[in-house]
C-alpha cells in the first residue's frame, strides 16, 4: 500500500474544510455573543459542524483500522514526532467537540436551545465560569498549532525532501 484509501483521503480533506468552517462559525458566534446578538441558528450550525467533525474523525479511525495505512517513510526522530502530532490531532478532534457539547450542556446555551428562546443565550461574559468553554478555547488554539506543524511537515516533504509523501493523501491513484 502506497496511498491512503480513497475514503480516508475524502474524510481527511472534508474534515479540514469543516474545521475551517467551524473555526469561522465559532469566531462569529463569540463576536455575536459579546454583542448580545447571538442566535439559536448560529449555535446550532456551529454545533452541527462540530458534531460532524467528531463523526468524521471516529469514522476515519475505523477506516484506518479496516483499510490500513501506508508504511512510514522513515524512522528518524522527526518522523516519530510527526506521528505523535498526527495522534494528538486525532485526540483533539475528539475532545474538542466533546468540550463544545459539554459547554452547551453546562451553560445557558443548552437551556436556550431546548426552550427555543434566543433571549436565554449567554451574553458577554456568559461563559466566564464555564470550565468546559475554557477548555474548548484552549483546545482550538492547540489544534491550530498542531495543524500548522502538520502543514509545515507536509510542505517540507513536498518541496524540500521531495519524497512524494503528499501523494499518499491524494485522490489521484498511482498506477
The separation between the first and the last C-alpha atoms of the chain, rounded to the nearest angstrom, is: 12
Cα 26 to chain centroid distance, Å, stands at 12
Q: What is the pLDDT of residues 99-152, one digit of tens each?
A: 999 999 999 999 999 999 999 999 999 999 999 999 999 999 999 999 999 999
For 148, other C-beta atoms within 10 Å of its C-beta total: 10
Per-residue buried b or exposed e for 108-133, using 16+ beta carbons within 10 Å of the residue's own CB: ebbebbeeeeeebbbeeebbeebebb
Q: What is the pLDDT of residues 41-71, one digit of tens each?
A: 999 999 999 999 999 999 999 999 999 999 9
Phi, psi torsion values for 129, nearest 5 degrees: -115, 25
Which pLDDT score, from 0 to 100, does residue 164 have?
A: 87
The long-range contacts involving 11-20, CB below 8 angstroms and separated by at least 24 positions, are 11/56, 11/59, 11/60, 11/63, 12/60, 12/169, 13/169, 14/56, 15/53, 15/56, 15/57, 15/60, 15/93, 18/49, 18/52, 18/53, 18/56, 19/53, 19/143, 19/147
Which pLDDT score, from 0 to 100, does residue 175 have?
A: 63
The pTM of the full predicted model, rounded to 2 decimals, is 0.94
Could you give the angle at the alpha carbon of 1 between the alpha carbons of 153 and 91, nearest 5°?
A: 45
Q: What is the pLDDT of residues 67-82, one digit of tens each?
A: 999 998 889 999 999 9
Contacts of 141 (CB under 8 A, 6+ apart): none
Amino acid at each position: 500500500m502506497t496511498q491512503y484509501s480513497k475514503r480516508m483521503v475524502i474524510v481527511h480533506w472534508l474534515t479540514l474544510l469543516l474545521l475551517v468552517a467551524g473555526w469561522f462559525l465559532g469566531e462569529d458566534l463569540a463576536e455575536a455573543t459579546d454583542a448580545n446578538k447571538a442566535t439559536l441558528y448560529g449555535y446550532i450550525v456551529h454545533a452541527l459542524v462540530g458534531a460532524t467533525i467528531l463523526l468524521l474523525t471516529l469514522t476515519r479511525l475505523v477506516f484506518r483500522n479496516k483499510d490500513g495505512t501506508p508504511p512510514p517513510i522513515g524512522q528518524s526522530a522527526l518522523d516519530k514526532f510527526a506521528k505523535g502530532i498526527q495522534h494528538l490531532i486525532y485526540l483533539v478532534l475528539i475532545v474538542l467537540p466533546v468540550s463544545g457539547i459539554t459547554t452547551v450542556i453546562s451553560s445557558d446555551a443548552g437551556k436556550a436551545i431546548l426552550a427555543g428562546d434566543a433571549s436565554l443565550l449567554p451574553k458577554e461574559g456568559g461563559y466566564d465560569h464555564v470550565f468546559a468553554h475554557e477548555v474548548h478555547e484552549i483546545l482550538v488554539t492547540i489544534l491550530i498549532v498542531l495543524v500548522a506543524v502538520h502543514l509545515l511537515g507536509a510542505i517540507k516533504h513536498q518541496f524540500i525532501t521531495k519524497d512524494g509523501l503528499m501523494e499518499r493523501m491524494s485522490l489521484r491513484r498511482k498506477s
